[in-house]
Structure 1
């Protein structure tokens, strides 16, 4: 498992990579549904989807066009931001690139790639998040670095939850 952060002229980049004990098809089937996304985020955050997209998978979303607005809910009920969701690129079963704007972010890009891991029964999940705060938030000293730290922790949590969802439990 690896992670990293860096800053490029007001732009923050956060990366997380880990190996999941499941095939890429299994990981994609879970991570491409809002239920899977919310399971990764739980219990800290829940993401809504527009009514017309309920039950849809990532593969069903329009590529290059606005998919709609998703609200981010702290602890599952308190709205703290929204995401004007745009899927810029999608390679079903392997990769997506979301390029969205948010209430707090002028730019939010989330790219997830799935690559074969060891023995063909494992998958390397790589998330790369690039963001840039909107004004006047961008002028607040240290806020971008603080949010990069929060985003890094959220994605570490997401990867733990994703790995755990494919790890058999012992009765």
Structure 2
């Protein structure tokens, strides 16, 4: 399944990019529902620091920032610094997870953030997949609102 979510952020593209590719920025967007923590020793400071195509290791997803509930075996497969990244992963819950985020400059120093999510759950039950898609759409809406609030 696939869906897209977009938002307009009242900040210049360089400022938005610096935020969305940092560990602090990623976790800020996801709070309070969850956080993500990469394994120690990855050397991850921002997505700009990764080697494209090289697995980053297991990133644990923690419900409410405390309870591990899933992991993400994370690889950035494409990167256009300052504009776009494309992550492909497998997860405990997902056979396939792809997150592509593209930033586009807009007039008046604003930025459009577009997220394209493609996923395939390990358990393929149609009703559950529809609920999961709606949950993920709501979650990315939450992430965009948090980003707007940060720059607002």
TM-score, with structure 2 as normaliser: 0.96
Q: Distance in 2 between matches of 1:60 and 1:52?
A: 13
Q: How does 1:112-151 map to 2 (within 5 A)?
A: 112-119=101-108, 121-134=109-122, 137-138=123-124, 140-151=125-136
Residue 60 of structure 1 is matched in structure 2 by 49
TM-score, with structure 1 as normaliser: 0.86
Residue 16 of structure 1 is matched in structure 2 by 5
- Relative to structure 1, the CA distance from residue 111 to residue 153 in structure 2 (aligned partners, 3 Å threshold; closer, same or farther) is same
Larger mean Cα displacement after TM superposition, 89-98 or 57-66: 57-66
Matched, 1:87 2:72: no
Q: Which runs of 4+ in 1 moved over 2 A?
A: none
Residue 19 of structure 2 is matched in structure 1 by 30
What residue ranges of structure 1 are gaps of 5+ in the alignment? 1-11
What residue ranges of structure 2 are gaps of 5+ in the alignment? none
| Structure with larger Rg | 1
